[in-house]
Amino acid sequence: MLVTTLIILALLVFWLAGWWFGHGEDLSAWDHPAEGSGQERFSRSGGPSAGHGQAEDDIRAMGDQVRGLSQKQRLQFAREFMEQIPEGREFDCEFRPVDAGGLTAEWVLAPGADPARRVLYIHGGAFIAGSPNSHRTITSRWSEVSGAAVLAIDYRLMPEHRRAAGIEDCRTAYRWILENGPDAAAPPQWLYVSGDSAGGNLSLSLAAWVRDIGLRSPDGVIGLSPLTDSTYSGLSIRRNLKTDIMLGPLFGALMKIPRPILMWLFVLENRVRPVNPVVSPIFGDLSGLPPTLIQVSESEMLLDDARRYVNKARAAGSPVRLQSWAGLLHVWHIMNPEVPEALEAFEQIAAFVRSVEASGAAPA
């Protein structure tokens, strides 16, 4: 009887601890659509383009290959799949390897790119995959539409490294780009931080850190389908599980795990509570942030991550905007130029950059 009681108590403590790990601010207050100029919606009559439809077919085929794989096999598959994305493509850019303060990186330079105009790009890949190479379709387009030199960094990935290692690498890269361009050591005239998915999470976390320690702020931050809430509390995480054909096959099984156990797994893997703003930017102070643009698909699991972040940041007085597209893949930007919606999204990014720079002189 005593043993049974102790087991029950141990399970109760385990369950309560898991609940506490993921217990933070009630984010449901930010579930409403962004108000006024805070949100723009894009859609095509008749649905997504034929190019997007072909990309969906390719991703569905990938999802079929993932099913039944072990965790180790999924990791290897994800890494190999992402590294194959730029294969066979021609780029009108220079890719220049560089040591960014001890961090492997590459400068991506479109013809005529101004070395004084810079973008720090942080790739996605669920913190476990991706590299500067895997995201060249994004970084090359970024350089083309902005006329800027893009620094794509190869931050340390999980599970070989802790989440904190990747965060530290992003901070190192930011300090470095403040003093170094592609041709010489010099401060930037204009500076942007951007990232997709996991990289979007790291970008938003980085912006808050820069503010808090008093470094020169980026002139703008652009997040593509960013993860903002590591407690996975948004309704779209589960509601869009079937419509998100990119993330659904990869993380559907994970979402079936009871929440307290999921929070325990996060803490054991990352050594930090999932409500910590360092890993969940939405739980932090969102005032005093630079102009920020968030782009997201309305069909993806991270829709509420984007919407909640934008609403909370705007309520705190930060100039943050949301642009959403109907029926698209998670981070559809990477599938350019084959997917017209990807080109449209980059046109909006270019317009955002122009609006930032038209609003005033660059910081000294």
| Residue-level pLDDT at 253 | 78
Answer for the pair 267, 275: CB distance below 8 angstroms, yes or no: no
| Residue-level pLDDT at 344 | 97
Answer for the pair 86, 133: CB distance below 8 angstroms, yes or no: yes
| Residue-level pLDDT at 363 | 43
Active-site choice (140, 146, 194, 197)? 197
Give CA–CA dist 156/143, Å, rounded: 24
Q: Which residues pair with 96 in a beta bridge?
A: 107
Residue 197 appears among annotated catalytic residues: yes
- Give how far the C-alpha of residue 36 lies from the chain's centroid of Cα atoms, to the nearest Å: 25
What's the Rg (C-alpha) of the chain?
Answer: 20
Q: Please name the residue that has the structure tokens 């990807």.
A: 342
Give CA–CA dist 109/103, Å, rounded: 19
**Residue among 182, 166, 33, 7 nearest 96 (CA):** 182
Answer for the pair 193, 207: CB distance below 8 angstroms, yes or no: yes
Q: What is the dihedral of CA 124, 278, 187, 287, to 10 degrees?
A: 110
Helix spans in the chain (H): 2-21, 50-66, 71-83, 136-146, 163-177, 198-213, 235-239, 248-251, 259-270, 303-315, 340-358
Answer for the pair 296, 330: CB distance below 8 angstroms, yes or no: no
Neighbouring CB atoms inside 10 A of 253's CB total: 11
| Residue-level pLDDT at 350 | 97
Residue 90 appears among annotated catalytic residues: no
DSSP per residue, 252-300: TTGGGS-HHHHHHHHHHHHSS-TTSTTT-GGGS--SSPPPEEEEEETTS
What is the token pair recorded at 26? 């009630």
| Residue-level pLDDT at 124 | 97
Residue 330 appears among annotated catalytic residues: yes
Answer for the pair 346, 142: CB distance below 8 angstroms, yes or no: yes
Give CA–CA dist 231/244, Å, rounded: 19
| Residue-level pLDDT at 362 | 46
Active-site choice (300, 318, 324, 341)? 300
Answer for the pair 49, 308: CB distance below 8 angstroms, yes or no: no
pLDDT in tens for each of the 364 residues of the chain? 777 777 777 777 766 766 767 777 889 899 888 777 788 999 998 899 999 999 999 888 877 777 778 888 888 988 999 999 999 899 999 999 999 999 999 999 999 999 999 999 999 999 999 999 999 999 999 999 999 999 999 999 999 999 999 999 999 999 999 999 999 999 999 999 999 999 999 999 999 999 999 999 999 999 999 999 999 999 999 999 999 998 988 787 788 888 888 888 888 888 899 999 999 999 999 999 999 999 999 999 999 999 999 999 999 999 999 999 999 999 999 999 999 999 999 999 999 999 999 987 444 3
Q: DSSP code of 115?
A: E
- φ, ψ of residue 90 to 5 degrees: the values are -105, 135
Q: Please name the residue that has the structure tokens 């984007």.
A: 306
The superfamily (CATH) of domain 49-358 is: Alpha/Beta hydrolase fold, catalytic domain (3.40.50.1820)
Active-site choice (330, 333, 341, 344)? 330
Answer for the pair 335, 137: CB distance below 8 angstroms, yes or no: yes
Answer for the pair 170, 198: CB distance below 8 angstroms, yes or no: no
Beta carbons within 8 Å of 69's beta carbon, 6+ residues apart? 77
Three-state SS at 41 = strand
Q: Please name the residue that has the structure tokens 């990186």.
A: 105
What is the token pair recorded at 182? 């592609």
